[in-house]
């Protein structure tokens, strides 16, 4: 008896759920037009900033002195720097023909270097 009730319940749910399905019209062709400005704004993400904090050491023997008396020179320099490395997107070349987009990306170069105090 339980088996008949469960089969009947499954059949009723199948009928109810299949009748709620929305019929879609024939496939519509989606026409997406690429926008060059939007592509360029995405391309601005192609820049990397590197932050440096380091200490440089300089040692020079017999750097200063009077007559035969010589003195060594030793000093340390601490520095901070930010280096930006990326692509100049003004030189980016995009050609769009039908459904093919061809992008020519220039070689990445050092864009800026800022040395802190």
Q: What is the pTM of this model?
A: 0.42
Is residue 31 pLDDT above 70, yes or no?
no
The answer to whether residues 22 and 62 touch, using CB atoms and an 8 Å cutoff, is no
Is residue 102 pLDDT above 70, yes or no?
yes
Is residue 11 pLDDT above 60, yes or no?
yes
Q: How far apart are CA 78 and CA 113, in angstroms?
A: 16
Structural domain contains residue 17? no
Residues spanned by the domain of 70: 33-115
Is residue 6 pLDDT above 60, yes or no?
yes
DSSP letter, residue 26: S
Contacts of 78 (CB under 8 A, 6+ apart): 53, 54, 55, 56
Structural domain contains residue 11? no
Structural domain contains residue 26? no
Structural domain contains residue 103? yes
Domain count, the chain: 1
């Amino acid at each position: 008896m339980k088996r008949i009730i469960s089969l009947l319940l499954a059949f009723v749910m199948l009928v109810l759920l299949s009748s709620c399905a929305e019929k879609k019209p024939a496939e519509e062709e989606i026409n997406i037009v690429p926008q060059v400005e939007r592509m360029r704004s995405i391309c601005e993400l192609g820049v990397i900033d590197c932050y440096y904090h380091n200490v440089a050491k300089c040692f020079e023997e017999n750097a200063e002195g009077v007559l035969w008396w010589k003195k060594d020179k030793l000093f340390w320099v601490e520095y901070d720097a930010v280096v930006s490395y990326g692509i100049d997107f003004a030189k980016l070349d995009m050609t769009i023909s039908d459904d093919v987009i061809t992008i020519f990306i220039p070689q990445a170069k050092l864009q800026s270097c800022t040395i802190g105090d």
